[in-house]
Chains A and B, each alone.
Chain A
Amino acid sequence: MSERLTSRLGWLLGGVVLLAMPFYLERFWLQAGVFAMAAAIGAIGLNLLTGSAGQLSLAHAFFLAVGAYGYCVFAGDSGSATGLTGWGLPPVLAAVLAVALAGAVGGLFSPIAGRVRGPYLGIATLALIFIGQHVLLNAHDLTGGFNGRAVPPLSVFGFAFDDSATVVAGVPFRSMEKLWYLGLALLAAGALFARGVLRGRPGRAINAIRDHQTAAGVIGIPVARTRGAIFVLSSMYAGLAGVLLALAFQHAVPGYFGIVLSLEYLAMIVIGGLGTVSGAVIGAAFVTLIPQVLTKYSESLPLVSAPGTGGVAPGEASRYLYGAAVVAAVLFLPGGLARLPVPRWARKGARDKAPAPTSRNMEVST
C-alpha cells in the first residue's frame, strides 16, 4: 500500500471514530472533549504568535475572556430580567462578532505588541490579564461580576445547541453531543486555516520577522503591520476558543480567565511542539485531559490517592505530571509530542514545517 493511501485511510479512520464518539460516550467525556477542542483552537492561535512569530504572550486568557463575554453580551437577552446588558442578537451573529471583537481588542494592543519585543512583551501582556480581571469583576452590567453570567445557547437556523434532547438513531442528543460536532468542525477549520497561513506567504513573512526583524523590513515586509496582523489573528483564535468554551460551560466565570490559564496555553504549545498546528492540538489535548482522567480514575490509579485520604491527590498528581511534561518535552523532545515517532498518517504535523524557532530576536552586526 502506498504511503499516501495509508495516510488517507488513517485520516478516514480517525475521522469516523471522532464522528461516532457522541453515540457512545457519556456527557462527562464529551464535555472534556469539547474543552480540549476549544483549548486546541486557542493553542493554535497562540502557536501562531509564540511559535512562529516568536512573540511571547501571557494575554491569551484575556482574549479568551473577550470572546466568551463578548458572545454573552451580544447574544444575551436584551430584556432586563437578569439586570445584565444583552443585545439579543442571533447567536451565530453574536459568535462571529465576539471573534471579531477579540481581534479588534488585539488590534488595540498592537501598538504595544509591535513596539515591545521578546521577554518584555511577555510580561507586558501580563498587564492585560490583570486589567482584564479588573474589568471582569467591576463591569457588573456586562460580565455579571465575580459569579459571572449565563451563556445563551447557540442556535443555527432554529437548531438549538441546548439541553433539549434531539433523538438521533435512538441516542438523545443534548448540548454536549451537539457541541462536540460544532467543536470538531471549528477545530478542523481552524487547523486548516492556520496551516494555510503558516505555509503560505504570511507564514514566511512572520518567520522572517522573528529571525531578522530589520532585514525583513528591507526585503519588503511591513514589519509592524505583519506583526500586528498576527497578533490580531491569534487573538481571534483565542476569541473563538472563548466562545466555544463558554458554550460548553454554559456559564462564564471571570476566575477561569486568569494567569494560570495563560500559562497553561503556553505549556500546551511547548508540550505539543512549537510552531506546528498539530503540536498545538496534541498539547491542548494533553493538558486538558490529564487532570480530568486522573481525577476520574483517582481510586484505581496506584500512586494517586482519593481526596481526603492523605498522599498525593489527583489534582496534585496532574499538576506534577504536566509540569514535568513541559520540562521533559523541551529537554528530551525538542519538537514536542508532535514529533514523536508515530506512524506517518497519524502525524498531522509531519508536513507543517516551521520548526522550533531558535534564533534570538536580535540582530546585530556589521
Chain B
Amino acid sequence: MNGPQPLTVTGLTVRFAGLTALDGVGFTVAPGTVHALIGPNGAGKSTCFNVLSGVYRATSGSVRLGGRELTRETPHAIASLGVARTFQNLALSAHSTVADTLLLGRHRLTRSGILASGLRLPRAAREAGRHTERMREIAAFLGLEPYLDAPAGLLPYGVQKLVELGRALCMEPDVLLLDEPIAGMNPTERQHTAALIASVRDSLGLSVLLVEHDMGVVMRLADTVTVLDFGRKIAEGTPGEVQNDPEVVRAYLGEHQETETPR
C-alpha cells in the first residue's frame, strides 16, 4: 500500500461470439478522483468493469494500476492489489448475516486458514477481533449497524446495495469500482449514498470508477466522465462538457429530457 495509483486503460477490446462489446476504449482514473463511466444500455460499461476486476479476459488492450498490468491476473489477485467492486445485480448470499457479508470483504486482509480456524489458534482469534472492530466502524459509517445480524438477502433492495458498498469498503481498496450503486433507491436515499461516496473519496483518498444512469448524481459526484456507445468511447471531459456534447445527447440523454409534460 503505497498510496493510490492511477488506473490506466488503453485500447481495451472485448469480443464475444459475433459481438464487440468494447472497442479500443481508453481512459485514466486519476488517484483520488471520481471518474464516471456512462453510456446507453449495452454500451459495455459492465463489461469494462468485468475486465478490470478480472472476470472477463480482454481480447486486446491493457489495464494498468500504477506499474502493474492487470489483464492477465485472476480476480482474486486483482482484489489483492486493492481493487474492489460492487455488482450491478446484487451478489449477496441470501442467508449470511450482514456482519458475515462485510467480514467477507476482509478476506484478503486476513490470514487464518483452515488449520488456524479449525484449531482456534489465539492468532486467529486476535485477528478476528481486530477486523470485526473495523467492520463495525464501516457499518456505522454506512448506517448499517441495525442490520448487522439480519440475513442480507431479506433486506430491502436499497439496504442490500449499501451492504454491497460496505463489503467493497471492507476490502480497504485503493480503487473502488461501483456499478450502478444507487439504482433502485429513491431520491433521498440516492443523495445520502452519493454523499457517502464523496465522503470516502475525500477521507480515504481512493479513486472511484462509477457507472450510473442517474445524471444528477453523476454531475454532482464526478470529476471526469467517459461516455461509451456500442463499445466505443464517444466523449470524455468534465460533467458539464459531456452533458452538452451533441453526440452524448443523441446516444444517451435523449434530445429533450423533459419529453413528458405533467398532466
CB-CB under 8 A from B74, the residues of chain A are: 217, 222
CB-CB under 8 A from A223, the residues of chain B are: 75-76
Q: Does B95 contact A (CB under 8 A)?
A: yes
- In the complex, what residue of chain B is closest to A213 when comparing beta carbons? B91
Q: 7 A-B residue contacts at CB 8 Å?
A: A197-B117, A204-B107, A205-B104, A217-B79, A221-B76, A356-B95, A358-B94
Q: Could you tell me the distance between the alpha carbons of A243 and B128 in the complex, rounded to whole angstroms?
A: 34
Q: Could you tell me the distance between the alpha carbons of A199 and B14 in the complex, rounded to whole angstroms?
A: 40
CB-CB under 8 A from A193, the residues of chain B are: 118-119
Q: Which of A214, A355, A357 has the most CB of B within 10 A?
A: A214
* Distance from B133 Cβ to chain A, minimum over Cβ atoms (Å): 16
CB-CB under 8 A from B97, the residues of chain A are: 353
Q: Which 3 A-B pairs have the closest CB atoms?
A: A200-B117, A220-B108, A220-B79
- For A, the interface residue count at a CB cutoff of 8 angstroms equals 37
Judge whether A218 and B117 touch: CB under 8 Å: no
CB-CB under 8 A from B112, the residues of chain A are: 200-202
Q: Could you tell me the distance between the alpha carbons of A201 and B116 in the complex, rounded to whole angstroms?
A: 10
Q: Could you tell me the distance between the alpha carbons of A212 and B167 in the complex, rounded to whole angstroms?
A: 14
Interface residues of B in 56-99 (CB under 8 A from A): 74-76, 78-80, 84-85, 87-89, 91-97
Judge whether B119 and A204 touch: CB under 8 Å: no
Judge whether B110 and A201 touch: CB under 8 Å: yes
Q: Does B23 contact A (CB under 8 A)?
A: no
Q: Which of B75, B91, B95 has a CB less than 8 Å from the CB of A355?
A: B95
Contact with B along A111-136 (1 / 0, CB 8 A): 00000000000000000000000000
Judge whether A211 and B94 touch: CB under 8 Å: yes
Q: Could you tell me the distance between the alpha carbons of A50 and B26 in the complex, rounded to whole angstroms?
A: 44
Take A193-B118, A217-B74, A219-B171 as given contacts and tell me if A204 and B103 are in contact as well, using a CB distance cutoff of 8 Å.
yes
CB-CB under 8 A from A357, the residues of chain B are: 95
Q: Does B221 contact A (CB under 8 A)?
A: no
Judge whether B76 and A222 touch: CB under 8 Å: yes
CB-CB under 8 A from B171, the residues of chain A are: 219-220
Q: Does A194 contact B (CB under 8 A)?
A: yes
Q: How many interface contacts (CB-CB < 8 Å) are there between A and B?
A: 116
Contact with B along A353-366 (1 / 0, CB 8 A): 10111110001011
Judge whether A204 and B104 touch: CB under 8 Å: yes
Q: Does B224 contact A (CB under 8 A)?
A: no
Take A196-B119, A204-B103, A219-B104 as given contacts and tell me if A212 and B94 are in contact as well, using a CB distance cutoff of 8 Å.
no
Judge whether B117 and A221 touch: CB under 8 Å: no
CB-CB under 8 A from B53, the residues of chain A are: 218
Contact with B along A200-234 (1 / 0, CB 8 A): 11111101101110110111111100000100010
Take A217-B76, A220-B80 as given contacts and tell me if A212 and B91 are in contact as well, using a CB distance cutoff of 8 Å.
yes
Q: Could you tell me the distance between the alpha carbons of A219 and B107 in the complex, rounded to whole angstroms?
A: 8
Q: Does B234 contact A (CB under 8 A)?
A: no
Q: Which of A202, A207, A365, A366 has a CB less than 8 Å from the CB of B93?
A: A207
Judge whether A218 and B75 touch: CB under 8 Å: yes
Q: Could you tell me the distance between the alpha carbons of A201 and B97 in the complex, rounded to whole angstroms?
A: 14
Judge whether A196 and B118 touch: CB under 8 Å: yes
CB-CB under 8 A from A202, the residues of chain B are: 112-114, 117
* Distance from A9 Cβ to chain B, minimum over Cβ atoms (Å): 23
Q: Which of B79, B96, B110 has a CB less than 8 Å from the CB of A219?
A: B79
* Distance from A234 Cβ to chain B, minimum over Cβ atoms (Å): 11
Q: Could you tell me the distance between the alpha carbons of A282 and B218 in the complex, rounded to whole angstroms?
A: 55
Judge whether B107 and A365 touch: CB under 8 Å: no
